[in-house]
């Protein structure tokens, strides 16, 4: 997967290697991986609230997750009913995230 320093998939480069549906799957998979990391660091910080390194890692993952979700919603439409719509309301038009065949 081709990513820049912030962890975002660079537009244009990945499209040469994968089709549009594969790009969507790759971005959704990246969101799931980072979201797992956010959940895990949240649980760790519940029992280690003063661990500065873990807190910094959690904040980095949270910011990365926000950016990935924003990128996904800009390109493919909202992930949830409360997500952002940038061009038009596409939530009902394409396969929903749980309908994508892996």
Is the model's pLDDT at 6 over the cut of 80?
no
Q: Tens digits of per-residue pLDDT, 58-96?
A: 999 999 999 999 999 888 888 877 776 666 666 566 677
pLDDT of residue 66: 96
What is residue 19's DSSP assignment?
A: -
Q: How confident is the model at residue 18 (pLDDT cuts 50, 70, 90)?
A: low
Band of residue 1 on the pLDDT scale cut at 50, 70, 90: very low
- pTM for the predicted model, two decimal places: 0.69
Domain layout of the chain by residue ranges? 18-79+87-99
Q: DSSP letters along 80-91, please?
A: STTS--SSS--T
**Any idea what DSSP says for residue 101?**
-
Cα 80 to the center of its chain, rounded Å: 12
């Amino acid at each position: 997967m081709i990513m820049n320093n912030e962890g975002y998939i660079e537009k244009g480069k990945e499209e040469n290697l994968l089709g549009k549906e594969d790009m969507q799957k790759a971005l959704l998979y990246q969101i799931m991986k980072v979201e797992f990391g956010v959940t895990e660091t949240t649980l760790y910080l519940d029992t280690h609230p003063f661990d500065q390194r873990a807190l910094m890692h959690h904040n980095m993952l949270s910011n990365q997750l926000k950016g990935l979700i924003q990128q996904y919603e800009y390109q493919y439409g909202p992930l949830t009913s409360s997500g952002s719509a940038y061009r038009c309301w596409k939530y009902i038009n394409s396969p929903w995230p749980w309908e994508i065949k892996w």
